[in-house]
Amino acid sequence: MRALDPSKTYLITGGAGFIGFHLSKSLLEKGAKVIGFDNMNDYYDVKLKEDRLEILDSYENYSFLRGNLGDNADVFRAFQEFRPQIVVNLGAQAGVRYSIDNPAAYMESNMMGFFHVLEACRFFPVEHLVYASSSSVYGGNDKVPFSTADQVDEPVSLYAATKKSNELMAHAYGKLYHIPVTGLRFFTVYGPFGRPDMAYFKFTKKILAGEPIQIYNQGDMYRDFTYIDDIVRGVENILCNPPAENKKGVRYKLYNIGNNKPVKLMEFVETLERCLGREAKKEYLPMQPGDVYQTYADVSDLMQDYDFKPDTSIGEGLQKFVDWYRAYYGEKNE
């Protein structure tokens, strides 16, 4: 396994996003040159994205391009100007539930946007393309833990379908144009500077405001929560290690990055209550459309290839998030 090479130029789409910000910051701290690419859309509070960028802009080796993945010219401009050796595609329209109400956003960003990234990698050859997939591709699979060898042909949301499509597109481009490609199925990533649309963030805001939180499927759900620092370490291990050719002559690999330890929703809520020092008002509701009962990552490939697996406990990770939330939003523990 090769160590991360700080002499490379890394292009990170979705660079102002949650994972993009943390990965960029870690790479910059190691001395790498990082190019951020983001359209700064208002899916959630743009100020959060602007504050992330303000931190990244303080690094000498950071450059930011405001552009839209759905615009081929914007994407090609980034590749032509900076000639990145390693590309990390994190730019996408996120969220399972939002895809039910706004499907067009997913087709533009996740499908056309990823197509434009693949085309750019074709015409401006790169050493490695790493892209974000999602645990959502496993849909309602009953077999656990979820393995990358499992069939994932029954998505239960358009978001999941776009991520599965990305995997197929990446494989095709890897085969046709000899692009080394690695896909990463992330499992419920959380932590400081996270996404306000995710449950842990919304729960924190409502608990501190004394408002009820919505608990779906009567709390009978499990999630493989993965702390952001573990995600970043996992991605950095992979960046400078493009896959070898498989038996079919394609340099293509998929990994799960998850904590390998599902947490029941009610245990998660109780842990968050302890971290906040507040008891939540709870509203119990049925399962939402597009949601799944459980996620559970098999990370044996990650362990075999990189001797690494995420290991931050939900208690430790949520406490770090709560501490950041209070500092960022000025919330005090009463």
Give the predicted TM-score (pTM) of the model: 0.96
Return phi, psi of residue 233, to 5°. Answer: -60, -40
SS3 at position 200: helix
Q: CA-CA distance, 252 to 168, in Å (whole number)?
A: 11
Is residue 223 within 8 Å of 188, Cβ to Cβ? yes
Tell me what pLDDT residue 97 has.
Answer: 79
Q: Which amino acid is at 53?
A: L
Residue 290 pLDDT more than 80?
A: no
Q: Which residue of the set 62, 98, 159, 222 is catalytic?
A: 159
Q: Tens digits of per-residue pLDDT, 140-199?
A: 898 999 999 999 999 999 999 999 999 999 999 999 999 999 999 999 999 999 999 999
Is residue 256 within 8 Å of 231, Cβ to Cβ? no
**Domain locations along the chain:** 9-189+226-257, 199-223+260-295+311-329
Tell me what pLDDT residue 331 has.
Answer: 62
**Mean pLDDT (the chain, rounded):** 95
Q: How confident is the model at residue 333 (pLDDT cuts 50, 70, 90)?
A: very low
Q: CA-CA distance, 13 to 117, in Å (whole number)?
A: 9
Is residue 78 within 8 Å of 91, Cβ to Cβ? no
CATH superfamily of 199-223+260-295+311-329: UDP-galactose 4-epimerase, domain 1 (3.90.25.10)
How is residue 153 written in tokens?
Answer: 């042909």
Clarify whether 255 is annotated catalytic.
Answer: no
Q: CA-CA distance, 214 to 228, in Å (whole number)?
A: 24
Q: CA-CA distance, 108 to 6, in Å (whole number)?
A: 33
Tell me what pLDDT residue 334 has.
Answer: 45
Is residue 71 within 8 Å of 13, Cβ to Cβ? no
Q: Does domain 9-189+226-257 have CATH number 3.40.50.720?
A: yes
Residue 310 pLDDT more than 60?
A: yes
